[in-house]
Structure 1
Amino acid sequence: MSCFVLPSQYGHLLQTKTIWNAEETPESHSLMEQILHLEKLEVDIFRGFTLPEAPTFNQVFGGQLIAQALAAASKTVDCLKLVHSLHAIFLIAGDNNMPIIYQVHRERDGTSFATRKVEAKQKGLVMFTLIVSFQKEELGFEHQAAIMPDVPPPEQLLNMEEIRERRLTDPRFPMQYRNSAAKKKFVPWP
């Protein structure tokens, strides 16, 4: 599987005030912006294309589906809410030569969070689903600032032979467990 990663400094490309500006034409944008530019067909329904000059993979590239579905979802959310998390499900391969219809389902609109489900369809079949959560920027806990636990270095840990010996002899393990461990064939690990 391949993944398209959009660094945070390019997050503005998904906001309505840039690539969907009515005064600008899609042809004046970069290839990336052209791929992300979706045609609005109706409320919460958009059409995307695979551009002829885009790299081809004999089917729609997964990163393109994720990017276009995320762009469609972002068009239905307050611009102050940023992507918080997403989950993508690839169901069937898409055809490069056909337009892709993105239908956005507004699952939840709250003060701080919004949730969208986006279905990408071709020939009436759902080929891809994206579930995405948006969150308003707020001060809060830093969940990723965890401190590394104090653990011994790898060279001080027991090797596989020592672990096996402990399983066989440690009285804290039940006898049934020790007997089961003794019956297993020991294969040394590097």
Structure 2
Amino acid sequence: MAFSSKLSQSLVVTDGAARKLWLRGELEPGVSLLEHQELAAAVRSHPHAAARHRAELALALSNPLVESAGESYSRAAFHYLGFEQPELQHGFSDLDGFIGRSDFWWPGQDGRKGVVGEFDGKGKYTDAMLRSGGSPEETLYQEKIREDRIRALGFAFVRWGWSHVRDPERLRRKLIAAGLSPAGKSALLRTVST
């Protein structure tokens, strides 16, 4: 699949495979599938350069910390749009204790605050299993409290859904408005106000 599919589709599979290997103790966080010797050899042996490049990219970007297809699609969009790949599942705490984890975290650079990103699929609020049995209203309320506590730490916070990853220009505008820049390693813009 990594040889012939779009990056977004390939990342769903490679992130999922990386996660399974990680849960079985066969892959460390921060290690991509491209570092797996057998997979790397299979990629190198493919006769077509374009297919090799597609597979290398999907395997290099694979990450066992991705928890949903929406997160994989988001990461493909970040690559396509030229944004730095964020840290995944970053934990936040305040004086009251642990707040929670974010899907995406772009740390601040040069004294600037970071940006927290969340992919929100509809199931997060409508699927009883994903809500841990709580009501949709309670889930939404708890999300609001979590977001407010993270924002109180001084970080920008941005949310997006399927419509944004399907139309990357919309996602690009949201990320830029939150303080990110698609230009180079220094991905945070100096913002006057948040």
TM-score using structure 1 length = 0.30
Of structures 1 and 2, the larger Rg is shown by: 1
More helix by share: 2
TM-score using structure 2 length = 0.29
More strand by share: 1
